[in-house]
Amino acid sequence: MSSNNPPSEEGRRAGASTAAAPATNGNGNASQAKGGLVPTNNVTTKDGLTVRTRIDPTLTVEDVIRQLCISLKLKEPPAVYALRDETDELITNDNLRKKIKGKVNLKLVNAPAIEAAEIVERLVTRDSKMGLALTSLRRYIREEQFATEFLQRDGLHELIQIIETSHGNILAYALTAMQNLMELDHGWESLDDAFILKVVQILSSEQSRINVCRPATAILKKLVEADPTSVPGPQVGSSRQPPTLSPGSVYRYGFEVVYEQMRKEERLLETVVGRLGSADTTMAMYSMMLINSLMAHASDARWDEFIEEIERLNVCKAVTRLMSSHTIEDLTSCILDFQANLIRVTYRKKITLVEPDVEPTQEVALNFIWACSKLKEDTDDNMITRKWRKLGFDTEDMTQEFREVGSLGLDCLKYFVARDPEYWAKVVQEQISRPEERRCPIAKASNEIVDLLSEHWAIYAPGYSTSTTFQPFFLNFQRVHTLATLFFLRMWNESGAARDDFPRMAALTRSQVKVALRRENIRPWHEVEQDFLECEYRAVRDRQMQELEMEDDIMSKVPIRALRAKMYKESFEFVRQQRIHCLLEGAWFMNAIPLATNASRDTMRRPTRPWRFLRLDNGLKYLHYIDSAVKFPVRKGLEDLPERIDISLINEIATGACTPFPNLCLPRDTLDIPTSPVMASPLSFSLLTASGASLADQIAPDQSRWADWTDGLNMLRKAGGHVASKETEVFVQSLTEIGLKIKLLDLSGEKIEIPSGLVAGPPPNNSDFFFSDLIYDTQV
């Protein structure tokens, strides 16, 4: 590389540009880039001088800087210089070729080592320029070269000191710099409990400004997610074992470490939940993301305590308000993540056994239910105590009675009783006054309705949610359970049902649940109440009979419902593997830019070419890509894809928020979607970091590709869980139904009678037995 003769002194003062000479390859010979002449780039020096220079893209950055210093007769050694583009992105060997071919304007600036030394010096002296130093630090700290130099000069210690002693804008700048540093997977492993407590105290203060709370929230979230199980790498289902941490790994924190400090500030969670209603939508989004991370990473030891706190603060109510008031697409993704996390919480409750002899809180709940009934226990002629059977259970064994619905069923029954204890006592005593065969088994009905609602909302496994829309009624599970239980009692009374009619009344309730909870994302709550509380028995029965004419009654039996749950898990895992396989294959996308409403995003890399090919590596750690002016056949492997995006940095997949570049002139038939520069493409998606910076903004060529990639990327995210496309939701449901029908063909073909329930036999006489996987797999 070379330039023409150095400019005159007059030219230097005027910042005049020089004519470019042919680039040389280091041996003094003329050099050409592949496909033609070496591109010409403008390079601006620190003195404001701009020269036009031809740079050989086969050279390293060090060679380019050295030859620039020689050509411009600079006195300083090349080591003190670096190259940046107009957006201040550092030029490295990885992106030099792309910048040269794109004829990007470059700047000859201080090397990262010089910048780091100057910034650390200003942080140490705490002078009047510290604010400017922190502003630069926020921008440069994401860069590996700068971060390395900054950390080697003990800059992290100085940054922590500023966070612990500052306030106002200086504190906001320092926290943002720390947040950006934590986007790297190294360098911040020395953060201790004192620092975490300080961030907790900053966040829990009502006086903290929004520009302080945003980065503080993001820092806590990152610490929660930095546990050993989150180390980037291949994941095989949910059975991945925590890896052995290497020295200096930042994945040594996690929920336990952060929550221990959170407990020292009792109002922290309350303050975070309160900020969900903030007028600043970005602040609400950050708070939502922290809550999601805490829910997704809660440890077994603290799970009950944390979830109890979440329920006490009524987070579901706050999120329900967000569903109707949010204004940006990013918040939609956070709400769907919360729904997925809440399904995991609900499922865990459902499989948690009720053991009052072991769990004091469960014993307290059962005693409360019994005390509110205002009944007295007695014994029958066989000296068997009659207590819980008076409430509608079949036995006195609470563990057995709640086996199918677990602590979820107990919580729902307690909520039903606590809502109106006088009504509960009245209903129970009214049933006791009836002949035994005419009594409504209230407690048993409550558990049945928990099971029906779990089926309706597909609470089959602690996996991902397939819902692509808001589910405000699910977030009010216990209230819906109360309405459905009241409906069951009313139908029982109006129909004059007897004990043998319990399955029929359960089926009637299932039919009404489907009707009352239809179009959940747009129906108002008062219509749900009206459907449960004001409908007439005959109208419900007539509708159910019409449904039964179109649906086989066999599908409502308990063993079939259990089989459906098993098929759902298998179908979801199959779709998950298929989506990830699509990412491994790779695909072409159109590059895009965020809408004006999202213009505040700090776009890390703004591509200059219209097309991008993306492919996930086999280790599931990086998205490799290349930008191109035209599509071309990409070989297998990663040789053709020189740049990459770290999957662990992807914190959010925002959809439908990007538009094509307005200056791109593409044929109308290149995409199956509208490409208006003023409207968001429905097939667009952005990969966002915790700070809101965009790693990539793409537009898929068709709906199928969009579904594959948005859902595949969500399924790779540790704290994610929801799917974005209707295609994936329908795909999982269709596979479930097909698999279920195939299984049923094996039984119906042999004319095997399917029971309405499964009754456990007597226990074995000894322990000389084992469970056969073969028998389990073939059982209905």
Q: Which H, E and C letters describe 711-752, residue by residue?
A: HHHHHHCCCCCECCCHHHHHHHHHHHHHHHHHHHHHHHHCCC
Report d(CA 653, CA 244) in Å as an integer: 30
Q: What is the pLDDT of residue 161?
A: 94
Task: Indicate the angle between helix axes 112-125 and 130-140, nearest 10 degrees.
Answer: 140
Report d(CA 577, CA 566) in Å as an integer: 17
Residue written as tokens 């209905």? 780
Residues 42 and 50: beta-carbon distance below 8 Å = yes
| CA angle at 143 for the pair 138 and 144, rounded to the nearest 5° | 135
- The whole-number average pLDDT for the span 714-727 is 71
- The model's confidence at residue 38, banded by pLDDT at 50, 70 and 90, is low
Window from 88-92, 143-147, 384-388 with minimum mean pLDDT: 384-388
Residues 82 and 90: beta-carbon distance below 8 Å = yes
3-state secondary structure of 577: helix
Report d(CA 404, CA 120) in Å as an integer: 61
- The whole-number average pLDDT for the span 617-639 is 87
Token readout for 603 is 């776009």
Residue 85 has pLDDT above 80, yes or no: yes
Report d(CA 429, CA 423) in Å as an integer: 10
Q: What is the pLDDT of residue 599?
A: 39
Report d(CA 195, CA 217) in Å as an integer: 14
3-state secondary structure of 612: strand
Token readout for 486 is 């009241």
**Residues 6+ away with beta carbon under 8 Å from 161:** none
Residues 231 and 251: beta-carbon distance below 8 Å = yes
DSSP 212-256: HHHHHHHHHHHHHH-SGGGSSS---TT-PPPPPPPTT-STT--HH
Number of neighbouring beta carbons within 10 Å of residue 367: 11
Q: What is the pLDDT of residue 275?
A: 92
Higher-pLDDT residue of 231, 523: 523
- The model's confidence at residue 662, banded by pLDDT at 50, 70 and 90, is low
Q: What is the pLDDT of residue 330?
A: 64
The CATH-assigned architecture of domain 586-724 is Roll (2.30)
Q: What is the pLDDT of residue 237?
A: 44
Task: Indicate the angle between helix axes 442-456 and 558-585, nearest 10 degrees.
Answer: 20
Report d(CA 333, CA 724) in Å as an integer: 8
Q: What is the pLDDT of residue 601?
A: 46
Residue 78 has pLDDT above 80, yes or no: yes
Domain chopping of the chain, boundaries: 9-110, 114-230+250-325, 360-551, 586-724
Residues 107-156 pLDDT 10s: 899 999 999 999 999 999 888 888 999 999 999 998 999 999 999 999 99
CATH class of 114-230+250-325: mainly alpha
Token readout for 284 is 């609400």
Three-state helix/strand/coil letters over 418-443: HHCHHHHHHHHHHHHCCCHHHCCCHH
- The model's confidence at residue 34, banded by pLDDT at 50, 70 and 90, is very low
- The whole-number average pLDDT for the span 390-400 is 92
Residues 7 and 49: beta-carbon distance below 8 Å = yes
Q: What is the pLDDT of residue 663?
A: 52
Q: Provide the phi-psi class of 439: left if phi over 0, else alpha when psi is between -120 and 50, else beta.
A: beta
Residues 485 and 445: beta-carbon distance below 8 Å = yes
Residue written as tokens 């910034």? 119
Q: What is the pLDDT of residue 554?
A: 58
Please give the torsion angle defined by the CA atoms of residues 23, 24, 28 and 31, in that order, rounded to the nearest 10 degrees. -110
Q: Are strands 658-660 and 587-594 parallel, antiparallel or unpaired?
A: antiparallel
Paired residues of 52 in beta bridges: 42
- With the C-alpha atoms ordered 727, 524, 464, 612, is the resulting torsion angle positive or negative? positive
Find, among 748, 760, 704, the residue nearest to 728 by Cα.
704
Report which DSSP code applies to 465: B
Spatial strand order of the sheet with 106-110 comes to 50-54, 40-44, 106-110, 81-85
Residue 602 has pLDDT above 70, yes or no: no
- The whole-number average pLDDT for the span 158-184 is 92
Residues 31 and 24: beta-carbon distance below 8 Å = yes
Q: What is the pLDDT of residue 600?
A: 42
Q: Are strands 40-44 and 106-110 parallel, antiparallel or unpaired?
A: parallel
| CA angle at 96 for the pair 95 and 98, rounded to the nearest 5° | 70
Could you tell me the pTM of the whole model? 0.75
**Chain centroid offset of residue 575 CA:** 18
Token readout for 633 is 């056949």
SS3 content of the chain, % helix, strand, coil (to 5): 55, 10, 40
Q: What is the pLDDT of residue 113?
A: 93
| CA angle at 161 for the pair 156 and 165, rounded to the nearest 5° | 150
Find, among 706, 718, 722, the residue nearest to 658 by Cα.
706
Residue 249 has pLDDT above 80, yes or no: yes
**Chain centroid offset of residue 733 CA:** 22
Find, among 361, 415, 410, the residue nearest to 388 by Cα.
410
- The whole-number average pLDDT for the span 531-538 is 89
Give per-residue burial for 310-333: e unless 16+ CB within 10 Å, then b.
beebebbebbbebbeebebbbbbb
- The whole-number average pLDDT for the span 446-461 is 90
Report d(CA 609, CA 349) in Å as an integer: 50
Q: What is the pLDDT of residue 28?
A: 40
- The whole-number average pLDDT for the span 431-440 is 90
Residues 282-312 pLDDT 10s: 888 899 999 999 999 999 999 999 999 999 9
- The whole-number average pLDDT for the span 163-169 is 90
Window from 283-287, 387-391, 734-738, 750-754 with minimum mean pLDDT: 750-754
Residue 197 has pLDDT above 70, yes or no: yes
- The model's confidence at residue 604, banded by pLDDT at 50, 70 and 90, is very low
Residue 383 has pLDDT above 90, yes or no: no
Window from 207-221, 234-248, 278-292, 653-667 with minimum mean pLDDT: 234-248
Token readout for 439 is 């009594």
- The whole-number average pLDDT for the span 607-628 is 86
Report d(CA 15, CA 26) in Å as an integer: 27
Residues 4 and 19: beta-carbon distance below 8 Å = yes
Higher-pLDDT residue of 41, 617: 617
Q: What is the pLDDT of residue 331?
A: 81
Q: What is the pLDDT of residue 39?
A: 63
CATH fold label, 9-110:
Ubiquitin-like (UB roll) (3.10.20)
Report d(CA 286, CA 272) in Å as an integer: 9
- The whole-number average pLDDT for the span 729-750 is 74
- The model's confidence at residue 660, banded by pLDDT at 50, 70 and 90, is confident
- The whole-number average pLDDT for the span 540-550 is 74
DSSP 349-391: HHHS---TTT-HHHHHHHHHHHHHHT---EE-TTS-EESGGGG
Residue 268 has pLDDT above 50, yes or no: yes
Report d(CA 676, CA 660) in Å as an integer: 7
Find, among 616, 584, 582, 620, the residue nearest to 232 by Cα.
620
Residue 623 has pLDDT above 60, yes or no: yes
State phi, psi for 731 to the nearest 5 degrees: -60, -45
- The whole-number average pLDDT for the span 542-559 is 66
- The model's confidence at residue 558, banded by pLDDT at 50, 70 and 90, is low
User: Over pLDDT 90: what percentage of the chain?
Assistant: 39
Q: Are strands 652-655 and 684-688 parallel, antiparallel or unpaired?
A: antiparallel
**Average per-residue pLDDT in the chain?**
82
Q: What is the pLDDT of residue 163?
A: 94
- The whole-number average pLDDT for the span 724-747 is 78
Q: Provide the phi-psi class of 392: left if phi over 0, else alpha when psi is between -120 and 50, else beta.
A: left
- The model's confidence at residue 363, banded by pLDDT at 50, 70 and 90, is very high
Residues 659 and 595: beta-carbon distance below 8 Å = yes
Q: Are strands 385-386 and 587-594 parallel, antiparallel or unpaired?
A: unpaired
Q: Are strands 622-628 and 643-646 parallel, antiparallel or unpaired?
A: antiparallel
